[in-house]
Amino acid sequence: MQQVARLLTRAVGDANLLARLGADHFAVVIPEVQQEGDVALLVERWMKALLDHPFGVNTSTFRISARVGISLFPDAGSTAEALFKNAEAALKQAKASRNGYLFYTPKIAEMTAGKFVLENQLREAVDKQEFILYYQPKVNLASGKLTSAEALIRWNDPRSGLVPPDRFIPILEETGLIYEVGRWALGKAIEDYLRWQSAGLPAVRIAVNVSPLQLRNRDFIAEIEQAIGIDARAAAGLELELTEGLIMEDVEHSIATLRAIRAMGVSIAIDDFGTGFSSLSYLSKLPLDTLKIARSFVIDMTATPEGLAQVSTIINLAHSLKLKVVAEGVETKEQSRLLGMLGCDEMQGFLLGEAVPDEIFETRYLELLPPGDASRGVCAGPRRWRRAGRSRAVRASEK
Ligand code: C2E
Ligand code: CA
């Protein structure tokens, strides 16, 4: 940071026009600007100087890139405070859009305001408990029997209806609300599982997605302990889906955490496997139960021989590590056939069914199984599942 500050001071030419605002966050005042283009050229020159400069720390050399948000007087504000706030908004947008630098515009103002509104609506949604869990079935590829369900969160926004998670999870993570919502999702999945059990339905294990922030939280193990502590049967009903990148980020910590969680009887799956950079030596050390093959691989599988080889490699790898392997996003019979041929254990995807609310999951999938026994499903194969899911009348006649 000292070296960066020296370089920036040299570039700006006057240390009084430069400030350090945060750990790696600087501000510069350019007092006289003839035209917008001059600022752009200047900023580009500074960014290049930064990138070209080899920063030496101990014996290592680092290259550093920067992102810049710019606000111009008087269009982007007539006071120092407004200019400063708007430069921050432009910087945020530059980071989000992977642009090197961005000038503040009314559009950026709109986006920032829109995000602010969404943040407030999400805070309200947490208070008013507007989140819902949907369940998507997973089945055994060879037998077609239901094996488990994945819980997928939805936000029932009173203004616009159901909102998919990709639209709000990143904001829950940014604002820290994810801890509360994540805890709720765990509790709700366990509650549904126990309700199925008590109703004499063949309750299947429910997989809950866990945000990287939750896993990094020091209290995560205690949280799981508390969630399953409400009933002795709860642990057997819970699986956690964690992304590969997150686990590999701090392998030693992940091993310790996952070991503690598995010791409680909860299963662990790696989500979207193949998209991150798992180290094979670590993979064998991780306490895991399942690898989930990412949808992108399932798509590629039918497109090229290499795609097929990749899926085959993941399945073999999983089996040699004694892990169960689940293919995600299976949409076609051809994909299902190939996966079966390659020895994949389970599949999940629109071919079997989308995620549905708990009451539909119960009638569509659980009531088809003999009571009290989730392992002896009645379904002959994926085709039968699809038909069975269509209506009660069809199901009744099949029974
Ligand atoms: P994911 O864990 O990879 O979940 C699978 C996503 O693929 C789901 O989208 C599911 O509806 C969709 N999907 C399933 N089968 C198919 C298929 O055959 N074709 C296609 N095109 N898509 C399929 P969804 O429900 O929108 O969830 C998106 C992501 O949001 C999830 O990705 C997961 O990372 C995250 N998420 C969902 N629920 C939670 C939650 O409770 N907590 C956290 N932290 N993240 C969640
Ligand atoms: Ca998942």
Dump pLDDT digits (tens) for 249-261: 788 888 999 999 9
Domain assignment of residue 112, yes or no: no
Tell me the CATH number at 45: 3.30.70.270
Tell me if 349 CB under 6 Å of ligand 1.
Answer: yes
Tell me if 269 CB under 6 Å of ligand 1.
Answer: no
Cβ proximity of 47 and 66 under 8 Å = yes
Regarding whether 299 and 166 lie in a shared domain, the answer is yes
Domain assignment of residue 395, yes or no: no
Regarding whether 254 and 328 lie in a shared domain, the answer is yes
Regarding whether 158 and 90 lie in a shared domain, the answer is no
Residue 381: pLDDT band by 50, 70, 90 thresholds? very low
Last residue of a domain, one of 74, 104, 134: 104
Domain assignment of residue 198, yes or no: yes
Last residue of a domain, one of 49, 71, 104: 104
**pLDDT over 70 percentage in the chain:** 91
Domain assignment of residue 394, yes or no: no
Regarding whether 318 and 251 lie in a shared domain, the answer is yes
What pLDDT score does 370 carry? 58
Question: Coil, strand, or helix at residue 208?
Answer: strand
**pLDDT over 90 percentage in the chain:** 68
- CA nearest neighbour of 172 among 215, 114, 220, 213: 213
Cβ proximity of 361 and 135 under 8 Å = yes
- CA nearest neighbour of 395 among 373, 374, 368, 359: 368
Regarding whether 63 and 161 lie in a shared domain, the answer is no
Regarding whether 347 and 254 lie in a shared domain, the answer is yes
Residue-wise pLDDT for 50-75, tens only, equals 999 999 988 888 888 899 999 999 98
Regarding whether 168 and 90 lie in a shared domain, the answer is no
Tell me if 209 CB under 6 Å of ligand 1.
Answer: yes
What pLDDT score does 373 carry? 52
pLDDT of residue 138 exceeding 80: yes
Maximum Cα interatomic distance, the chain, rounded to a whole number of Å: 84
Regarding whether 322 and 213 lie in a shared domain, the answer is yes
Higher pLDDT, 33 or 189: 189
pLDDT of residue 186 exceeding 80: yes
What pLDDT score does 274 carry? 83
> Do the strands 324-327 and 346-348 form a parallel or antiparallel pair, or are they unpaired?
parallel
Vertex 267 angle, CA 271 and 332, to 5°: 45
Average pLDDT over residues 175-204: 95
What are the residues facing 120 on neighbouring strands? none
What pLDDT score does 218 carry? 87
What pLDDT score does 368 carry? 67
Global pTM? 0.76
Regarding whether 153 and 294 lie in a shared domain, the answer is yes
Cβ proximity of 265 and 236 under 8 Å = yes
Regarding whether 207 and 100 lie in a shared domain, the answer is no
Higher pLDDT, 331 or 396: 331
Q: Which amino acid is at 94?
A: A
Instruction: Estimate to the nearest angstrom the gap between the alpha carbon of 96 and the chain centroid.
Output: 17
Residue with tokens 């071919």: 351
Q: Which ligand 1 atom is at minimum distance from the Cα of 210?
A: 44
What pLDDT score does 116 carry? 84
Out of 130, 156, 209, 244, mutate this one to test ligand 1's pocket (max ligand atoms within 8 Å of CB): namely 209
Q: What domain range is 160 assigned to?
A: 120-387
Tell me if 116 CB under 6 Å of ligand 1.
Answer: no
Tell me if 152 CB under 6 Å of ligand 1.
Answer: yes
Extract the tokens encoding 89: 């908004």
Cβ proximity of 87 and 103 under 8 Å = no
Tell me if 165 CB under 6 Å of ligand 1.
Answer: yes
Domain assignment of residue 393, yes or no: no
Rounded Cα gap, residues 330 and 339, in angstroms: 9
> Distances in Å between the alpha carbon of 35 and those of 12, 73, 79, 85?
18, 11, 19, 21
Ligand minimally distant from the alpha carbon of residue 349: 1
Regarding whether 222 and 267 lie in a shared domain, the answer is yes
Query: Which residues surround the ion ligand 2 when the cut-off is CB under 5 Å?
Result: 209, 241, 271
Residue 283: pLDDT band by 50, 70, 90 thresholds? confident
What are the residues facing 357 on neighbouring strands? 134
What is the rounded average pLDDT for all residues in the chain? 88
Out of 126, 152, 183, mutate this one to test ligand 1's pocket (max ligand atoms within 8 Å of CB): namely 152
Domain assignment of residue 53, yes or no: yes
pLDDT of residue 166 exceeding 80: yes
Domain assignment of residue 30, yes or no: yes
- CA nearest neighbour of 267 among 245, 242, 246: 242
Average pLDDT over residues 202-217: 92
Higher pLDDT, 98 or 213: 213
Regarding whether 147 and 84 lie in a shared domain, the answer is no
Domain count for the chain: 2
Q: How far apart are the first and last CA of the chain?
A: 71
Last residue of a domain, one of 78, 104, 130: 104
Tell me the CATH number at 147: 3.20.20.450
pLDDT of residue 6 exceeding 80: yes
Domain assignment of residue 132, yes or no: yes
> Do the strands 55-57 and 60-62 form a parallel or antiparallel pair, or are they unpaired?
antiparallel
